[in-house]
Structure 1
């Protein structure tokens, strides 16, 4: 009786183990044929171990249990493999759709840029440039720097540029005149220090992509530069240090170049008038009449308030014998007025595009060379 109960207990526990392992096996078969093969190998080893102790389990032989589990496992394994393949296909389709979506979004962005440029071209080739030129024509022709200062504002606003700067050429150097937006280039610049600006002076205009195709860039370069005037004898350069990619195009640069050409024609007229003013207000020693000095100071002050362009005013006293040498020390862009008094000269100077440090250097140079007093 005790042996029978023990045998029944063993059979019952064995059946439980068989069904538990079968459940695990069937569950693993869900994930495909490879998990099925691994599981059935383990399952068969367990069955062999179990049937060595008990010849049958609940009337089921080893072969019966093996065949049943293999057949059911194969069916479930095949179904699982099919489901796994379908899941993989769906995942691949999802990735493909995501890539296509990214390409479509990129294409939409490119189309927006193209449409924006086409709209700009249609507008510019229609009434746009006419409107701009009319606004520039309305500028007061009083002073070339004043005219250029106001022109920069109008051109930047018209072309919706957040960054536009104007430099005036003086030999191989450029002097900052006016601009809007942040500026990284210095107020005084050697034209050979920037590949974009140097290339523009050779060809009328140049762009950063064009320069990159020719040579490596090792320092900061503006996006594009447009020459005002003749390539061989440039009056100035428009410099755009930064512009959004969707706004930048060769067409935009060409339109600004066309405006620069028109502007130069007006600049030449103003320069001729300034030359006439020189005959009236400029003295043989290189100094100016006091009225002209006052007018230029107002222009410098306005540029400082509007664009933050610095200027300094210098006053020195010295013996008249040093006068010509001291006057020749200053730049062409500086405006000087002299007051003779008691055998000495009181000289006041407006230092264009100059800060306190630059003023200090000029004073140091003069003090080391001449007997002067600062007034």
Structure 2
């Protein structure tokens, strides 16, 4: 209304510049506003040919000052809006982070609930579940045991090693064993102490070993008077739960020892009086090892030999206790044998072949 009054009363078209001046002052940033005010000042006070009296000059300066003050208010509003946007962005990031943390806490709560159920009735339920598994092979049952236990206890890498006279040999493994397929009890302080007192974790020998990377996180003995083997844990989802896992594995190991002893006795029915196994049993174990290799990448080997009949006992003495040997041909004085080497790679196969050469003077190797 003020602008219209000026135009009607004075009839000066330059007064129309007041409208874009005011609009610019509330629409654009401070640099554009100052440029607009400067152009208005030049147009009205210097470029226009009309002569202004003192009152009109003061009026123009009031308009310019008002536009400048409006520009400052608008700039302040822009800064506030920018700050609010940044604050909103930070709040959204915090909200997203809070959502992720809430989801994490919900997962933790779910896991704790599952573990509480396990602590109350899970061990007995797991044992009952395993007791329904009927297998005739020690390795297969060890695998089934490890698969179920490691899944429930969130163990990423573990193995079960048979123990024979200070020597350990893996018969089941979830993930490739870091300490190898075979080891001496003196190779690891954790394992050695577990064999002596039932179990041992890395925390118990932390200050006694120089190379911690060579030690498993946990070892639990299976068997009391007769040590059958040891469960070795090498990697966990939640290392902080190591003590709880050790306690649970110790309980399970008592039951496992009884179960494995029964399976060992069951396996003996496939053993012939001369110390070899039936060909059917040999092929059954070979197929299972092939399945393990496809599933876990764990190797096995075969050796086929021909020896003099009276050298069989010597050959049986040098092969490993869990190797399977079957007689495939008997020509009276000479016999042909197939030897199945579970969890044995090419290097181990060569080592066993060298041992066989030392105990048999008539040995001949052939392709299987």
Provide the alpha-carbon RMSD of the alignment: 5.3
Asked if residue 177 in structure 1 is aligned to residue 171 in structure 2, the reply is yes
Q: 1:230 to 1:78 in 2, by over 3 A?
A: farther
User: Which one of the candidate residues 67, 70, 75 is aligned to 2:62?
Assistant: 67
Indicate if the aligned counterparts of 2:289 and 2:342 stay in contact, CA closer than 8 A. no
Cα drift, residue 347 of structure 1: 3.2
Cα drift, residue 111 of structure 1: 2.2
Cα drift, residue 155 of structure 1: 3.0
User: Which one of the candidate residues 267, 272, 278 is aligned to 2:257?
Assistant: 267
Q: 1:99 to 1:205 in 2, by over 3 A?
A: farther
**2: CA distance between counterparts of 1:31 and 1:48?**
24
Asked if residue 101 in structure 1 is aligned to residue 88 in structure 2, the reply is no
- CA deviation digits over 1:206-233, x for unaligned, max 9? 699xx9xx999999x99x75534389x7
User: Which one of the candidate residues 341, 350, 353 is aligned to 1:351?
Assistant: 341
**2: CA distance between counterparts of 1:20 and 1:217?**
83
Cα drift, residue 334 of structure 1: 1.4
Query: In the alignment, what sits opposite 1:118?
Result: 112
Query: In the alignment, what sits opposite 2:4?
Result: none
Cα drift, residue 108 of structure 1: 1.1
Cα drift, residue 371 of structure 1: 5.2
Q: 1:186 to 1:96 in 2, by over 3 A?
A: closer
Query: In the alignment, what sits opposite 1:258?
Result: 248
- Does the residue aligned with 1:288 lie in a helix, a strand or coil? coil
Cα drift, residue 122 of structure 1: 2.4
Query: In the alignment, what sits opposite 1:50?
Result: 47
Which TM-score applies when normalising by structure 2? 0.65
Indicate if the aligned counterparts of 1:201 and 1:234 stay in contact, CA closer than 8 A. no
Asked if residue 305 in structure 1 is aligned to residue 294 in structure 2, the reply is no
User: Which one of the candidate residues 103, 117, 122 is aligned to 1:128?
Assistant: 122
Cα drift, residue 23 of structure 1: 2.4
- Does the residue aligned with 1:290 lie in a helix, a strand or coil? coil
Query: In the alignment, what sits opposite 1:331?
Result: 320
Indicate if the aligned counterparts of 2:138 and 2:263 stay in contact, CA closer than 8 A. no
Query: In the alignment, what sits opposite 1:4?
Result: none
Worse-superposed segment, 145-154 or 25-34 = 25-34
- CA deviation digits over 1:184-207, x for unaligned, max 9? 557944779xxxx97677674769
Query: In the alignment, what sits opposite 2:7?
Result: none
Query: In the alignment, what sits opposite 1:318?
Result: 307
Aligned residues: 338
User: Which one of the candidate residues 362, 372, 375 is aligned to 2:363?
Assistant: 372
Q: 1:191 to 1:61 in 2, by over 3 A?
A: farther
- Structure 2: which 5+ runs fail to align? 1-10
- CA deviation digits over 1:158-202, x for unaligned, max 9? x2869665331558986443356xx3557944779xxxx976776
- Does the residue aligned with 2:344 lie in a helix, a strand or coil? coil
Q: 1:216 to 1:335 in 2, by over 3 A?
A: closer
Cα drift, residue 288 of structure 1: 1.5
- CA deviation digits over 1:279-311, x for unaligned, max 9? 99587xxx72434x7546524433533663554
Q: 1:282 to 1:198 in 2, by over 3 A?
A: farther
- Does the residue aligned with 1:99 lie in a helix, a strand or coil? helix
- CA deviation digits over 1:108-160, x for unaligned, max 9? 12321232123113211222222112223344485433431332344356x28
- Does the residue aligned with 1:332 lie in a helix, a strand or coil? coil
Which TM-score applies when normalising by structure 1? 0.64
Query: In the alignment, what sits opposite 2:161?
Result: 168
- CA deviation digits over 1:255-281, x for unaligned, max 9? 475145423453256448848987995
Cα drift, residue 42 of structure 1: 5.7
